[in-house]
Chain A
Amino acid sequence: MPPMESHEPPPLRAVWARRLCDLCLTCLVFTCGWVLMMLEMLGARMLAPSFGTDIQVWGSVIGVFLLALSLGYYLGGRLSTAFPKAVALTGLLLPCALWIGVLPWLHRPLNTWLFDFWVVHRDGGEQWGALAAAILLFLIPSVLLGTVSPFAIRLAATDVGSVGERAGLLYAVSTLGSFLGCMVTSFWLIVWLGVDRILQLHAVLLAAAAVAFLAAWHALKRGLQP
């Protein structure tokens, strides 16, 4: 990306390309925010058949997601410094989509196995089973989703003066996506589709968003070249 010179106005084409790049990033963080909360809302549903619906089950799911975001923010920040390319972001999101797509086949056998191993044979409390299941099922995809925000800020940043504004916008859009993902999943999708179908749908959505983002980003970057 060519540095923008402050003493002469950038060409109109570059301004528009820049705005479209921002739009691509906002769409991507919106989708990732949405998918994250969709997964979190379904998380407790996936654990309930083996571990119940106690507040400890909910606490485990929410706690694991927060821990994952913390890790994801850190790792995303580090990676964005080492490798500030859009392709890296897509490379983080495709395994995440794959994981979410495989979850429908994964969560029942894993929960049943954990239940037998821990609750039945060791007489352990089911809340610890729920926590272990939440870590095994949700930590990795939510770490990967957590890397998106710092990465997107790095890609959006053009100069130090505007970085706060861009970061603020991306956080706002990402969290708006989370809000809508949360509401739509719990109010409508759960009534229409069922857990496994919702997961598959979002795996496809996330993969498509990651690939579309990369394609659009490269097209715009080519457009920016003089």
Chain B
Amino acid sequence: MTKWALAACLPFCFAGCGLRSEEVLHERESRYHYIRVTQAGAERTLAFRRAGSDCRESVIDTKDPLRLVLPYTERMFAGFLFVPEPRDILMVGLGGGVCPRVMTHYFPEARCDVIELDPAVLDIAKEYFGFEEGPRIHVTIRDGRVGVKVLGRKGARYDLILLDAFRAGYIPYHLTTREFLEECRQLLRPGGVLVSNLWPSLMLYEYERRTMATVFEEQYAFGRWGNTIVVCLQERRGLTPEDLLARADEITLRRNLRFRLVDVAADLVPNQDYEPGGDILTDDFAPANVLNSIPRE
């Protein structure tokens, strides 16, 4: 019986192998990461680990560079539901540069500043992921916290701040604290929003949401499975799910989006999905990586 079951599975195993056969295009040890670029079919992946599941930082479709392959990148567009006409965008964490590249494509009037820690990541984004700096995209190589602080002191202001410097397996704890979020908030113009990419299956999620709640007036979370993208607002707007869907429709039409922003809006996490009472993360108390290893019940 078991033998037959195994035999029946064999073709699928091979099919699986066939799908996963990937070619390593580039592999190197940078100052901060182990960087690996692989290609499987038309999909090109940036990973910061040698192996292991769920280590894909960025994926592009080399035949169709505007396609957002990883579902979370579509959700990162949720910020535009609240800021449909952005002028200045700040992104912390470059990865393959998919978000800045695709966002400035759909929102050509916007400027995008990026802060990235690792110069090797920038080189690889340019070489393998079609990322380009230019008059509308400017990259600064710096620690995210330091970069945000410097921008704040220089009086820079943004409509949209995107935080995506939290890679699977390691959380830079100084980018999770209340003080950091306050520094980000000071960079926002009135009506601006902060968009953060979180992983909801771990304890850290609860702490991060509570911390955000102490700094921002209102939060909207998108994505009920996989990554949750949280949009933090400085002022309460009280938008209903219907309002968000209508806005998604309008933006999709006006901007000619190639993906369904409506689906992102529809994936709104309906109720508060975290425990409001409890510790928050501060510069003084931030055991981020410990919390990031404890599963949520």
A residues lining the B interface (CB < 8 Å): 48-55, 108, 115-116, 119-120, 126, 190-191, 193-197
B220 to chain A, nearest CB (A): 28
Question: How far apart sit A48 and B172, CA to CA, in the bound complex (Å)?
Answer: 10
Min C-beta distance of A190 to chain B, whole Å: 6
Which residues of B, 137-156, contact A by the 8 Å Cβ criterion? 142-143, 145-146, 149-150, 153-154
Quick check: which of B14-22, B229-237, B279-287 contacts chain A, the rest being far away?
B279-287
Q: Does B177 contact A (CB under 8 A)?
A: yes
Interchain Cβ contacts under 8 Å between A and B, 11 examples = A48-B173, A49-B145, A49-B174, A49-B179, A49-B283, A52-B146, A119-B146, A120-B153, A126-B142, A190-B287, A195-B284
| Cβ-defined partner of A53 (8 Å) among B31, B142, B174, B284 | B174
Contact (Cβ within 8 A) A120 B150: yes
Interface-central residue, B143, B172, B173, B180, by most chain A CB under 10 Å:
B143
Contact B174 A52 (CB under 8 A): yes
- Indicate if B290 sits at the interface (CB-CB under 8 A): yes
User: Could you tell me the distance in whole angstroms from the C-beta of A39 to the nearest C-beta in chain B?
Assistant: 15
Residues of A within 8 A of B31 (CB): 55
Contact, CB under 8 Å: A191 / B290:
yes
Given contacts A54-B117, A54-B143, 12 further A-B contacts (CB under 8 A): A48-B145, A48-B283, A49-B145, A49-B174, A49-B177, A49-B179, A120-B149, A191-B287, A191-B290, A194-B282, A194-B284, A194-B285
Q: Contacts A120-B154, A126-B143 given: A50-B284 contact, CB under 8 Å?
A: no
Query: Are the C-beta atoms of A53 and B146 separated by less than 8 Å?
Result: no
Q: What chain A residues lie within 8 Å of B179 (beta carbons)?
A: 49
On chain B, the residues within 8 Å of A190 by CB distance are: 287
Say which residue of A50, A108, A191 sits within 8 Å of B146 (CB atoms): A50
Do A52 and B154 have beta carbons less than 8 Å apart?
no
Tell me the bound Cα distance from A80 to B290 in angstroms. Answer: 43
- State how many angstroms separate the Cβ of A47 from the closest Cβ of chain B: 10
Contact of B285 among A50, A54, A55, A195 (CB under 8 A): A195
Q: How far is the CB of A112 from chain B (nearest CB, A)?
A: 9
Q: How far does the Cβ of A48 sit from chain B's closest Cβ, in whole Å?
A: 4
Give, as a whole number of angstroms, the nearest-CB distance from B101 to chain A: 26
**Closest-CB distance, B20 to chain A (whole angstroms):** 34
* Complex contacts, B282 vs chain A, CB 8 Å: 194
Q: How far is the CB of B288 from chain A (nearest CB, A)?
A: 10
Contact B150 A193 (CB under 8 A): no
Residues of B within 8 A of A49 (CB): 145, 174, 177, 179-180, 283
* Cα distance, A48 to B173, chains bound together (Å): 9
Q: How far is the CB of A99 from chain B (nearest CB, A)?
A: 19
Q: In the assembled complex, which residues on chain A have CB atoms less than 8 Å from the CB atom of B117?
A: 54
Q: How far is the CA of A50 from the CA of B283 in the complex (A)?
A: 10
Question: In angstroms, how far is the closest chain A Cβ from the Cβ of B127?
Answer: 24
Contact residues, B22-41 vs A (CB, 8 A): 31
Inter-subunit contact A53/B177 (CB<8 Å): no
- With contacts A55-B31, A126-B143, A194-B282 taken as known, whether A50 is within 8 angstroms of B149 at the C-beta atoms is yes
* Closest CB in chain A relative to B48 CB, distance in Å: 16
User: How many whole Å from B116's CB to the nearest CB in chain A?
Assistant: 13
Inter-subunit contact A193/B285 (CB<8 Å) = yes
Distance (whole angstroms) from the CB of A87 to the closest CB of chain B: 36
